[in-house]
């Protein structure tokens, strides 16, 4: 599919509905109160995991707040198993920064991993995967880690992502895997056109996924669609640089409607 276009793509589309987020007061957990440091140099991994544990244990609506600043994180696994709260909001005004040494997380498969969560909403903020040094290593022919995906939602449901920016992921920027009812709105993804295997959003084994009003520029597919994906709606996507919207492996599409709108220079 041509790049540098505004795309409107419907694949077996259905409406996705989410409840109003501020119908009731939520308990707010500021990551700084758990020891997170916003200098971008001190490791805040344990502080973020502690903030998640407290939020997960809350009996009602709960919010994790990430204030302005830079927060250095290693690989984190936010699991929904045993969560009391069924409505968790993560509001980010800051930037999460991956370790500069790509070996720290380069073989872990994921950087920020949400496993079996439900009713999670992520608003704003920036993820900086710091992938440039790993790309250089790969181009040199040296032995390098495979690289990691910046943000993964796995076996999760009723997920809302709005206003998120993802920069320079080592590999894929966002992976939606085995999920249902996922909405990505106003997402910005950026990596150089020369960056290897940095797909913007990869969707597989998922249903009812909506991607709208997003701007994606990478060295690989802007959006890639894997096996087992159904009821996918992509609308008003600005893509470039990148390889457009691609399907991989053996999958078939039915009832596809594509409208190519205003052309953008890339």
> Of 110, 173, 202, 243, which is the active-site residue?
243
Reported confidence tier of residue 253, pLDDT bands at 50, 70, 90: low
> Quick one: residue 84, left, alpha or beta (phi over 0 = left, psi -120 to 50 = alpha)?
alpha
Chain segment 110-148, per-residue pLDDT in tens: 999 999 999 999 999 999 999 999 999 999 989 999 999
Q: Write the pLDDT tens digit of every residue in 175-191.
A: 999 999 999 999 999 99
Is pLDDT at 14 greater than 90 in this prediction?
A: no
Mean pLDDT for the stretch of residues 15-30: 60
Q: Give the pLDDT score at 73.
A: 98
Q: How far apart are CA 54 and CA 2, in angstroms?
A: 46
The vertex-260 CA angle with 257 and 262, nearest 5°, equals 150
Domains defined for the chain, CATH in brackets: 73-259 (2.160.20.10)
Q: Does residue 206 or residue 5 have the better pLDDT? A: 206
Looking at every residue in the chain, the average pLDDT score rounds to 87
Q: Percent of the chain at pLDDT above 90?
A: 79
Is residue 186 part of the annotated active site? The answer reads no
More confident residue, 96 or 2: 96
> Would the pLDDT of 104 be above 60?
yes
Whether 70 shows a pLDDT value over 80: the answer reads yes
Catalytic, 221? Answer: no
Residue 248 confidence (pLDDT): 54
What is the C-alpha to C-alpha distance for residues 155 and 209, in angstroms, rounded to an integer?
A: 13
Instruction: Identify the active-site residue in 128, 199, 220, 221.
Output: 220
pLDDT confidence of residue 77: 97
Q: Is the pLDDT of residue 51 over 60?
A: yes
Whole-model pTM?
Answer: 0.87
């Amino acid at each position: 599919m041509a790049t540098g276009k505004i795309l409107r793509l419907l694949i077996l589309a259905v409406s996705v509905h989410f409840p109003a987020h501020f119908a009731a007061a939520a308990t707010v957990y500021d990551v700084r109160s758990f020891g997170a440091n916003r200098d971008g140099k001190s490791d805040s991994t344990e502080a973020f995991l502690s903030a998640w544990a407290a939020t997960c244990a809350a009996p009602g609506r709960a919010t994790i707040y990430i204030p302005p600043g830079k927060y250095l994180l290693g690989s984190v696994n936010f699991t929904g198993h045993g969560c009391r709260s069924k409505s968790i909001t993560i509001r980010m005004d800051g930037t999460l920064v991956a370790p500069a040494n790509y070996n720290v997380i380069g073989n872990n498969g994921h950087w920020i991993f949400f496993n079996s969560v439900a009713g999670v909403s992520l608003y704003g903020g920036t993820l900086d995967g710091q992938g440039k040094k790993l790309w250089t290593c790969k181009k040199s022919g040296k032995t390098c880690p495979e690289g990691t995906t910046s943000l993964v939602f796995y076996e999760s449901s009723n997920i809302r992502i709005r206003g998120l920016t993802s920069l320079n992921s080592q590999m894929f920027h966002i992976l939606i895997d085995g999920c249902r009812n996922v909405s990505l709105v106003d997402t910005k993804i950026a990596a150089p056109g020369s960056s290897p295997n940095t797909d913007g959003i990869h969707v597989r084994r998922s249903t009812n996924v909506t991607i709208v009003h997003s701007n994606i520029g990478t060295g690989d597919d802007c959006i890639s669609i894997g096996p087992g994906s159904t009821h996918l709606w992509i609308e008003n996507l600005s893509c470039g640089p990148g390889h457009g919207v691609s399907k991989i492996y053996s999958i078939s599409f039915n009832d596809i409607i594509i409208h190519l709108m205003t052309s953008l220079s890339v």
